[in-house]
Amino acid sequence: MKHLDYKELFENNEQWINEKLKTSSTFFDELASSQSPDYLMIGCSDSRVPLSSIMKAKAGEFFVHRNIANQVGLTDMNTLSVLEYSVDHLHIKHIIVIGHYRCGGVGAAVDGVDQGLIENWIAPIKELYIKNKQELDSYPTRQASTDRLSELNVIEQTRNIFRTPILERAFNRKNFPKIHGWIFDIYNGKIKELELPIEKWKKEGIVPECY
Ligand SMILES: [Zn+2]
């Protein structure tokens, strides 16, 4: 892949400004006035997952949070602040956790290679691997089991969202977003919707009946 030169970043920005002004002379006045996105996207920091580009979303359409391996930690102030602001103030309609195949964070959880602080960050994925070891070890290749773990990780993070007091409050006032789990298939560019075990979670009391 050709590397983008530092100077090119500014040149590209100039080009982008000109393109936008060509579509509408008031583009930046509208952009500056307010935001009312319908989607909160929680994705991985991986540079190969350009969230807006793969769905051709425009500025103002996605509220975005990214971290390594798209985690929703129940004690992570950063993620929780984004979640609270988007639910309580932006009144977003959909929360989408989007993971991807060949995720380095998920791979590190399987390999157990010491990579410093990231070891702590991905501890919940390691836990998930241990919990599902029998299924995951049955895949023919290490990559296939890691990719499956990426899916399980996405499902686990959506479950965490349901468990936050932020969503509990939204359910109580009967005004809540829909929660989805997606995978970006890096092998062909497609996004896949994962099936969430909503009925099972309802029985466990994680998802309320009104959902
Ligand atoms: Zn990743």
User: Is 44 an active-site residue?
Assistant: yes
Instruction: Using the mean position of ligand 1's atoms as its centre, give its distance from the Cα of residue 46 in Å.
Output: 5
| The pLDDT of residue 8 | 96
* pTM reported for the whole predicted model: 0.95
Report the alpha-carbon distance of residue 203 to residue 59 in Å, rounded.
39
Report the alpha-carbon distance of residue 108 to residue 106 in Å, rounded.
5
Nearest residue to 103 via CA among 129, 77, 81, 82: 129
- CATH superfamily of this structure's domain 36-203: Carbonic anhydrase (3.40.1050.10)
For the chain, 211 residues long, give each residue's pLDDT as a single digit of tens.
789 999 999 999 999 999 999 999 999 999 999 899 999 999 999 999 999 999 999 999 999 999 999 999 999 999 999 999 999 999 999 999 999 999 999 999 888 777 788 889 999 999 999 999 999 999 999 999 999 999 999 999 999 999 999 999 999 999 999 999 999 999 999 999 999 999 999 999 999 999 9
Phi, psi of 122, deg, nearest 5? -95, 10
Q: Find where tokens 């809540």 sit.
A: 176
User: Is 103 an active-site residue?
Assistant: yes
| The pLDDT of residue 131 | 97
Pairing of strands 178-184, 191-194: antiparallel
Instruction: Using the mean position of ligand 1's atoms as its centre, give its distance from the Cα of residue 47 in Å.
Output: 9
Instruction: Using the mean position of ligand 1's atoms as its centre, give its distance from the Cα of residue 48 in Å.
Output: 9
Q: DSSP strand E in 61-144: where?
A: 62-67, 94-100
Q: Which residue among 5, 38, 48, 94 is the active-site one?
A: 48
| The pLDDT of residue 203 | 97
